[in-house]
Amino acid sequence: MIEFRIGQGYDVHRIADGLPMYLCGVQIPSERGFVAHSDGDVAIHALCDALLGALALGDIGHLFPDSDPAYKGISSILLLKEVYRRVREKGWSIANCDVTIALQAPKLAPHILQMRTTLADATTERLGFVGRSEGCEVWAVVLLLCKSASALPPRMEPAK
Ligand code: MG
């Protein structure tokens, strides 16, 4: 029997002048980027939290605390690899994922193909935090599948 789990992730980072902008592991040409302890890849952070949430493995802030100098400026691709390694270790793999990015500027269309995990993007009509170009929000949802019933996350085990 194949088991399924859904995970949802969300992250938000402020935008500031003079910082690099990374989304889905791609450096987007921009004079502004995301304020963060890591490289600020808000899309990957949301995806990591979706993966972790699907299996009740905690969250990205718990795994990679911003108080730890080891993660200063780290590529979020490395964080995603570690998160997915943990998911795989438990016997699960990604069936599908979808990432929605709300960002006023720059336009991401030229970069979508390069941002392989991104299936949808959306812009607001200059409303709120995102519309004022003050920040970026990302929602991610992921579906995991597992072909081994013994790989259920701990909270899913039947009560004894
Ligand atoms: Mg983050």
Which tens digits make up the pLDDT trace of 13-59? 999 999 999 999 889 999 999 999 999 999 999 999 999 999 999 99
* Half-sphere exposure in the Cβ direction for 103 (13 Å, CA): 29
Residue 6 three-state SS = strand
Are the C-beta atoms of 75 and 36 separated by less than 8 Å? no
CA of 93 to the centre of ligand 1 (A): 23
Q: Say whether pLDDT at 122 is over 50.
A: no
What value, to the nearest 5°, has the Cα angle with vertex 26 and ends 95 and 139? 50
Q: What pLDDT does 119 receive?
A: 37
CA of 94 to the centre of ligand 1 (A): 21
Q: Say whether pLDDT at 121 is over 60.
A: no
CA of 12 to the centre of ligand 1 (A): 6
CA of 45 to the centre of ligand 1 (A): 5
The pLDDT tens digits for 130-140 are 656 677 777 77
How long, in residues, is the chain?
Answer: 160
- Separation between Cα atoms, residue 71 and residue 159, nearest integer Å: 38
CA of 114 to the centre of ligand 1 (A): 21
